Amino acid sequence: MNKNLITLAVSAAAVVAASGVNAANVYSSDGTELNIGGRAEFRGDFIGDSGNEIDGTMANNSRFRLNLGGTTEITSDLSGFGFYEAEQGVNSSTSNDANTDFKQRYMFAGLSGSFGAVSFGRQDTAAVQISQMSDVTTFTGAQKAFIDASDEQINNTILYTADYESLTLKGSVSLGEAKDTNTSGLSVIYTLPMGLGLGLGYSAGSNGENLGSSEAIIAGINYTLDSLYVAGTYTTGERDDRSSTDFNGVELAAKYGFGNGFSLMGAYQKTDGEVAGVKSDESDFFEITGDYKFNSNINAYLAYMLNNMDESSVGAKDAEDTLRLGLKYSF
């Protein structure tokens, strides 16, 4: 078990993705450390907002995140850790009402040692590490959201992580407060020395008393070569085993860094679902994003999402494209 396991367990909920989060160490004494991090991110959307046509000029989807994480050494073979993160968005009301609440994203604590790491609280389920393989651009990330058993930021979750250098194993159980709402999942990523990673995960659980059960299988592959990163994930499953509610999703992503602060990213995502025997697309788009990193703390990006949805599809809304201008300060 390598020495980086504690860092892995504490930062797992931060969803580092491509740009990363620069946490600052604010306290370190006698084996105990406290780190603070987060981001202030302006996100201005033009043309469309989540498929809806924008009547005016711009929709503001900016956000602010704040996280605290710490570790403490109990013995030479056992450590404790904790993590908290919250997010505040922008009130979209035209009245300029500034009142918005912080939304809790993560809150968990755990123990780590030669056995691995186990944490308890609001956190990602086991399958999220697979969906993150392709969730590296501005608009990606739908692969985890089909069912709660494979989603991120789930309450009452117990997560086990084992890191064996080239192999990362995760197992999770989410204990529902309502009757028959427990879920579980298992996933593994194996990375070959050549930079090729292979991932597979399975998630399942009950939807509630007399509400059936759901399950999802997700597979992923990625490859890293110097400044090039490419990845793809595929998800399939059913939301309710008592009726025809199957779903499928594919997500492809690539990123290339030119070494001068500029990166170019591209993605394709298509998801579909079946309700009462009727199949319909839930998402279908291409994305291209240019990102410029001024330094390790601040970057600007311009992303264009070409929406391929048919306006007649369920949930397609206006099926508008989106042009997003972003400026993100990470700390």
Q: Which two tokens stand for residue 6?
A: 């504690």
Q: What is the pLDDT of residues 218-274, one digit of tens each?
A: 999 999 999 999 999 999 999 999 888 999 999 999 999 999 999 999 999 999 998
Q: Which two tokens stand for residue 78?
A: 């056992």
pLDDT exceeds 80 at position 59: yes
Mean pLDDT of the chain: 90
What phi and psi, each to the nearest 5 degrees, are found at residue 25? -80, 115
Q: Which residues of 114-149 are buried (b: 16+ CB within 10 A; e: fewer)?
A: eebbbbebbbbbbbbbbbbbbbbbbbbbbbbebbbb
Whole-model pTM? 0.90
pLDDT at residue 6, rounded to an integer:
44
Q: Which two tokens stand for residue 147?
A: 């069912």
Q: In angstroms, rounded to a whole number, what is the distance separating the alpha carbons of residues 290 and 240? A: 39
pLDDT exceeds 70 at position 15: no
Q: What percent of the chain has pLDDT over 90?
A: 80
Q: What is the pLDDT of residues 161-210, one digit of tens each?
A: 999 889 999 999 999 999 999 999 999 999 999 999 999 999 999 999 98
